[in-house]
Amino acid sequence: MSVLVLVEHEGGAVKEATLPVVTAAAALGPVVALVAGDGADARAAADAAATIAGVEKVLLAADAAYANQLAENIAPLVVSLMAEHDAFLAPATTTGKNIAPRVAALLDVMQISEITSVEGPKTFTRPIYAGNAIATVESRDAKLVITVRGTSFAKADAAGGSASVEEVTAGGDAGLSSFVSLEASKNERPELTSAGVVVSGGRALKDAETFEQYIVPLADKLGAAVGASRAAVDAGYISNDHQVGQTGKIVAPELYIAVGISGAIQHLAGMKDSKLIVAINKDEDAPIFQIADIGLVADLFEAVPELTGKI
């Protein structure tokens, strides 16, 4: 089985989200990486993808139409390549989730979303109901289209491979959509989904200033990424790309510190696979304590600065 992997890239570099997908793909068969993008950036990303251990070949589709990863343009490209491949795997990022189902429908196959393990050539596990159940599913389709939950697979080594880069003919612009702008959120801290430590704040932080004042110093001290509950995001304490949960990002760091987060089902869905969970909350009955390895019932406005000072 030959497996096509969608490479997520930015500014000429391969994004880390691609690496676990290569690991999942390698469990199915020889891995062919697809870099779709524009100009020198795409070329550099293809060269970087060629060094990922386990990648046998890199396909480079360079065209202005692929510059912003518009699904309307990339999906037909993938479909045209699927004549020679048996499976298409993409990271379960917003890019992968946007493109893969469009590919699946064009191929007339059911996509398997956010797999957490490969059980056989056509058998996979995936979480359903906000992670409250794990389903094992078997596909009856001739071709597989899959998105991969990054935190469930080891990252392939970004170095050590020496794949060849082959250019493929681009299909051009479908003329249905166009990119207008990107408002990137400023983030000097580690990327949330790949950070080893995550410090998250919830509604109890009161406002954006307090959030910044209490959560950020603790995160900086630990070299951690900053996360948030939906309540904190909705209240405007921090931008929405920091949201951890069923509808935000799925994280599984070594250490997850939940501050002033009650622990709703939807939040737990995004972090309960963390290795070590610490909860600081003044409500001793908060559901977060049912899954926390270490719980501290305390007023966060006293406990967090003290903790920041002592570690």
Q: List residues forming the annotated binding site for FAD.
A: 203, 229-230, 243-247, 260-267, 281
Q: How far is the CB of 307 from another protein (least distance, A)?
A: 5
What residues contact 308, with CB distance under 8 A and at least 6 apart?
A: 217, 218, 221
Report 117-136 residues binding another protein (CB under 8 A): 123, 127-136
Count of residues binding another protein (CB under 8 A)?
A: 88
Q: Which is nearer to another protein, 167 or 254 (CB)?
A: 254
Contact 209, 183 (CB under 8 A): no
- Region of 290 please: left (phi>0), alpha (psi -120 to 50) or beta: alpha
Contact 252, 262 (CB under 8 A): no
Binding of another protein at residue 102 (CB under 8 A)? yes
Binding of another protein at residue 255 (CB under 8 A)? yes
Q: How far is the CB of 101 from another protein (least distance, A)?
A: 4
Binding of another protein at residue 169 (CB under 8 A)? no
Binding of another protein at residue 1 (CB under 8 A)? no
Contact 262, 287 (CB under 8 A): yes
CA distances to 196, 200, 228 from 263, rounded to whole Å, are 21, 11, 11
Q: Residues, the chain, total?
A: 311
From 26-34, 46-54, 200-208, 264-272, span contacting another protein (CB under 8 A): 264-272
Q: How far is the CB of 71 from another protein (least distance, A)?
A: 6
Q: How far apart are CA 118 and CA 99, in angstroms?
A: 21
Binding of another protein at residue 207 (CB under 8 A)? no
Binding of another protein at residue 247 (CB under 8 A)? yes
Q: Which is nearer to another protein, 14 or 109 (CB)?
A: 109
Q: How far is the CB of 186 from another protein (least distance, A)?
A: 9
Binding of another protein at residue 246 (CB under 8 A)? yes
In this structure, the strands spanning 55-62 and 164-167 are: parallel
Among 50, 195, 278, 286, binds another protein (CB under 8 A): 278
Report 183-202 residues binding another protein (CB under 8 A): 183-185, 187, 193
CA torsion angle 236 220 224 14 (round to 10):
90
Tell the residue number behind the tokens 């994004």, with chain if given.
Answer: 15
Tell the residue number behind the tokens 């406002």, with chain if given.
Answer: 207
